Amino acid sequence: MTARLLRGRTLSFKSRPQARDDHASYVYEEDGALLIENGRITEAGTYADVKFKSPIGVEVIDHRPHLLMAGFIDPHIHFPQMQVTASYAANLLEWLNTYTFVEEQRFADASHSARFAMLFFDELLRHGTTTAAAYCSVHKGSADAFFTEAQRRNLLMVGGKVMMDRNAPEALTDTAQSSYDDTKAVIETWHGKGRNHVAITPRFAITSTPEQLEAAGTLAREHPELLIQTHLSENNAEIAYTLELYPSARDYTDVYAQYGLLTRKMLLGHAIHLADREMDAIADAGSVAVHCPTSNLFLGSGLFDLKRIKEHGVRTAIATDIGGGSSYSLLRTLDEAYKIQQFRGNRLPPIESYWQATRGNAEALGLVERIGTLEPGSDADIIALDASATPAMKIRMETVQTLEEELFLMQTMGDDRSVRAVYVAGEAV
């Protein structure tokens, strides 16, 4: 592969910012550059330094004045729900039964799954998302389609065949044994093939019998390297029903703990309505609470308490949750997260928001050595962001004087139009 040098303003995070002025948590170069060779970043720094270290005659692609960052990472999204987005419903359970479970049955068809795999990745990349952790449908073929298309595009993607054996239409359920067998087959076929990563994916406690959660726990013990993804405490009615189904559990979080699923590899979508005991249990296990702000607002589920979750030492991530969420854009997602924290009296600095959408989410997935930063050795999944992408943004940029102001402008007014270029493993897409 031919080496290429990307020039632009560069921003990459070293740690979670502890305050607005925590300049040690990130590296920003006003005239920066990234040398890409064989799909990876091999040099990063000022343009003068990187150019000096580059091969003679290297191709230079100048993205100035745009901001070069690691590609956005979406750690909770539903691949089969593209045509469920913007469905009118009163709450989570009505939305699932009226729209989502109906739509997901269509993914039994291989050609339908293949078509939507292409559309899904098109949309993610258009919004600057280069990695996602996705729920496929209950059908093994949907996971095969997802990973086939991800490999074709050389994307680093996480996905899993949903495990769901009750409280759903018959056409959309498996069994404890078949879900184990199908997930095992997906792991053997796809995990580590290309840049693919498989996740163990019990949808949530309501749609899994104890036998199925036991099967999921067995998979987790057999494959401790795999991520586990599910939903937790999104909606009060969901919580009440879960405790009816699992009366021996102390609380919703304890359901997953009882089956050996509450580990450092577990991504807990939503995690809104948590008692102190649950937060402590999640923190002790090292599991991740994944905030899905546009979905939580759209479905009226509740407001994520980031300040309290951080005080308990719980690891966090932020995600779109398409199709409960209303936008594929991580910029739009950061905007809604900021508003939720404002409502809670918790001022969220933009520098922390962008850390979360890049390095923070990579840490949540256990993939920070590969993605989420611009550090040498990282895969070259890179985006170029434009804070003057629309006429209104351009007018506002006339008065912007700091990096913080620019980042906040992009998350408040930006969307896919702010994404000017996307590189996947060093190749423009």
- Tell me the pLDDT tens digit for each residue of 158-171: 999 999 999 999 99
Nearest Cα residue to 163 out of 152, 149, 150, 175: 175
Cis peptide before 323 (omega within 30 of 0): yes
Q: What is the pLDDT of residues 299-348, one digit of tens each?
A: 999 999 999 999 999 999 999 999 999 999 999 999 999 999 999 999 99
Average pLDDT over residues 27-31: 98
Check residue 139 and give its pLDDT.
Answer: 98
Distances 77 to 81, 85, 207 between C-alpha atoms, Å: 9, 11, 18
Check residue 95 and give its pLDDT.
Answer: 87
> Using CA atoms, how far apart are residues 6 and 8, in angstroms rounded to an integer?
7
* Residue 2 reports pLDDT greater than 90: no
Check residue 91 and give its pLDDT.
Answer: 87
Q: Of residues 97 and 142, which shows the higher confidence score?
A: 142
Q: Are the CB atoms for 29 and 403 separated by under 8 Å? A: no
List the structure tokens of 398: 């006339």
Distances 170 to 144, 164, 167, 175, 398 between C-alpha atoms, Å: 22, 10, 9, 11, 58
pLDDT band per the 50, 70, 90 thresholds, residue 281:
very high
> Using CA atoms, how far apart are residues 76 and 57, in angstroms rounded to an integer?
42
> Using CA atoms, how far apart are residues 231 and 253, in angstroms rounded to an integer?
10
Q: What is the pLDDT of residues 176-231, one digit of tens each?
A: 999 999 999 999 999 999 999 999 999 999 999 999 999 999 999 999 999 999 99
Check residue 364 and give its pLDDT.
Answer: 98
DSSP letter, residue 415: S
* Residue 259 reports pLDDT greater than 80: yes
Tally of residues, the chain: 429
Q: What is the pLDDT of residues 59-118, one digit of tens each?
A: 999 999 999 999 999 999 999 999 999 989 888 889 888 999 999 999 999 999 999 999
pLDDT band per the 50, 70, 90 thresholds, residue 1:
low
Residues 6+ away with beta carbon under 8 Å from 201: 135, 136, 160, 161, 162, 163, 183, 228, 229, 230
Distances 246 to 172, 270, 273, 350 between C-alpha atoms, Å: 22, 20, 18, 40
Check residue 89 and give its pLDDT.
Answer: 86
Check residue 137 and give its pLDDT.
Answer: 97
> Using CA atoms, how far apart are residues 221 and 381, in angstroms rounded to an integer?
31
Tokens 């290297």: give the residue.
58
Q: Are the CB atoms for 176 and 209 separated by under 8 Å? A: yes
Check residue 345 and give its pLDDT.
Answer: 96
User: Under the phi-then-psi rule, with left for phi > 0, alpha for psi from -120 to 50, and beta for the rest, what region is 285?
Assistant: alpha
Paired sense of beta strands 427-428 and 419-424, if any: antiparallel
Q: Are the CB atoms for 259 and 279 separated by under 8 Å? A: no
Q: Are the CB atoms for 65 and 57 separated by under 8 Å? A: no
